[in-house]
Amino acid sequence: MTENSELRGFYKLTMGERRQLLKKVTSLSDDEIKILANTGGLPAETADHMIENVVGGYTYPLGVATNFTINGKDYLVPMALEEPSVVAAASNAAKMARVKGGFKVTNTGPVMIGQIQVVNVPKPEGAKAKLLERKIDLLKKANDQDPMLVSLGGGAKDLNVKVLSSLKGPMVIAELIVNTGDAMGANAVNTMAEAVAPMVEEITGGRALLRIISNLADRRLVRATAVFDRETIGGGDVVDGIVYAYAFADADPYRCATHNKGIMNGVVAVGIACGQDIRALEAGAHSYASRNGRYKPLTTWEKNRDGDLVGTLEMPMAVGLVGGAARTHPAARANIRMLGVKTAIELAEVMGAVGLAQNFAALRALASEGIQKGHMKLHAHNVASSAGATGELIDIIAARLIEERKIRFDRAKELVAELSKEK
């Protein structure tokens, strides 16, 4: 807490000086400042250059999901997140998927869209036709910005133009369709969009306003599928239960938001571990889920002729291996090496499989014993540990909290005091 948040020149200070100042203007203790200063596996200097006004680091637990076999190849999947049960659920789902060969995933290529908004266009439909006539010139201008990407087979490949009727009247939107290769592509696409904007103005007679990538990456999809053996997953009732659970999500946006949240538990955790822009992944996922005007599940679940469960997932997956934190963050680099992916589309495919696995695990639990049992066990361990329990006391106190049905910090504290005395 502070009385005055106007810290003039804060950005000019060194990290250490910023912390000193923070200490002065907040109620943070020396110990708290020390905790915030810790940048973990990220060198302080790197952190200081990644974002602005850096004072330290913030660490998530890093778990490794096991058992994944995707397109015939095995993967150990790094996942960084704060929520208990997610890594265990992914590993367990992947183990069950293995029985029928694991996950099969395809993708539509690393294609992103860059939008140029043009306003005050005298003749919008005519301008659209003119822009399309000059497509080759516009693509050339875009590609001149990134000869490296072009030399690797990427670059601006096509131009789409639409006339929108908006709150402010008609506007022309020129869209560059860009193959971004192994990059997530925001930098490449934004640079291209800005570079072609003056030409777009000249051709249309209008004013180019926004020039920016679209996070509705519907040309950069992954499609994952897996067959889950009926007996392995608990029998015909479980299969039917999961199909019903899917039908619920398909029919009701309130349930669907949670259904898709479960998918993102996996996608985002791998995304964080591998240095991806997870805000872009979330934006892409949810806008894609609503693309037809109704919010829908990113997965489907059905029963096949043998009575087994078949799951599919289709969603945008804008990820990259070059540029951004995937390059600058040493832990992200190590995780990408642990995973062993060689291209951005391979990373996208793994993340699609993890999303499907995560959704399967959640629906299976929800359609049978519910998620609280497993969740509460882990939650009890967290509560015990944050109440000060260490070593074997964590297990003992967690078991007591569950037995007493009081998974609460105050009770855990009492037990820590009581049992530490006894020891």
CA dist., res. 188 & res. 401, Å (int):
53
CB of 278 to ligand MEV, least distance (A): 15
CB of 260 to ligand MEV, least distance (A): 8
CA dist., res. 68 & res. 89, Å (int):
12
Does position 362 bind ligand MEV by CB under 6 A? yes
CA dist., res. 370 & res. 347, Å (int):
31
C-beta separation of 222 from 357 below 8 A: no
Does position 261 bind ligand MEV by CB under 6 A? yes
Q: Which residue is nearest to ligand MEV (CB)?
A: 262
Q: Which is nearer to ligand MEV, 242 or 326 (CB)?
A: 242
Residues from 78 through 97 that contact ligand MEV (CB under 6 A):
83
CA dist., res. 423 & res. 146, Å (int):
66
CB of 324 to ligand MEV, least distance (A): 26
Among the listed ranges 16-24, 257-265, 327-335, 345-353, the one in contact with ligand MEV (CB under 6 A) is 257-265
Does position 262 bind ligand MEV by CB under 6 A? yes
Q: Which is nearer to ligand MEV, 212 or 366 (CB)?
A: 366
Does position 259 bind ligand MEV by CB under 6 A? yes
Name the amino acid, one letter, at 76. Answer: L
Backbone φ/ψ region at 350: left (φ over 0), alpha (ψ -120 to 50), beta = alpha
Of the listed 261, 303, 377, 406, which one is catalytic?
Answer: 261
Would you call 141 a catalytic residue per the annotation?
no
Does position 378 bind ligand MEV by CB under 6 A? no
Binders of ligand MEV: how many residues, by CB under 6 A? 10
Does position 37 bind ligand MEV by CB under 6 A? no
C-beta separation of 64 from 32 below 8 A: no
C-beta separation of 204 from 121 below 8 A: yes
Among the listed ranges 17-25, 72-80, 147-155, 363-371, the one in contact with ligand MEV (CB under 6 A) is 363-371
**Binds ligand MEV (CB under 6 A): choice among 99, 283, 371, 419:** 371
- Within 53-120, residue ranges assigned H as helices are 86-98
Name the amino acid, one letter, at 310. Answer: V
Q: Cite the beta strand spans of 110-253 per DSSP E.
A: 111-119, 155-166, 169-179, 207-214, 221-228
Would you call 404 a catalytic residue per the annotation?
no
Q: Helix crossing, 253-273 with 236-251: angle to 10°?
A: 100
Tokens of 293: 């005007």
Q: Which is nearer to ligand MEV, 115 or 358 (CB)?
A: 358
CB of 37 to ligand MEV, least distance (A): 31
CB of 244 to ligand MEV, least distance (A): 13
Does position 258 bind ligand MEV by CB under 6 A? yes
Would you call 277 a catalytic residue per the annotation?
yes
Sign (positive/negative) of CA torsion 201, 204, 209, 212? negative
Q: Which residues of 390-406 are buried (b: 16+ CB within 10 A; e: fewer)?
A: eeebbeebbebbbeeee
The 320-359 site mask, x for binding ligand MEV (CB under 6 A), equals ----------------------------------------
Q: Which is nearer to ligand MEV, 171 or 380 (CB)?
A: 380
Q: Which is nearer to ligand MEV, 265 or 276 (CB)?
A: 265
CB of 58 to ligand MEV, least distance (A): 20
Residues with Cβ < 8 Å from 184, sequence gap 6 or more? 276, 277, 280, 318, 319, 320, 323, 324, 344
Would you call 261 a catalytic residue per the annotation?
yes
Give the residue carrying structure tokens 């239960």: 241
Of the listed 100, 375, 377, 413, which one is catalytic?
Answer: 375
Residues annotated as catalytic (active site), given as ranges = 83, 261, 277, 375
Residue numbers at the binding site for ligand MEV (CB under 6 A) = 83, 258-259, 261-262, 265, 362-363, 366, 371
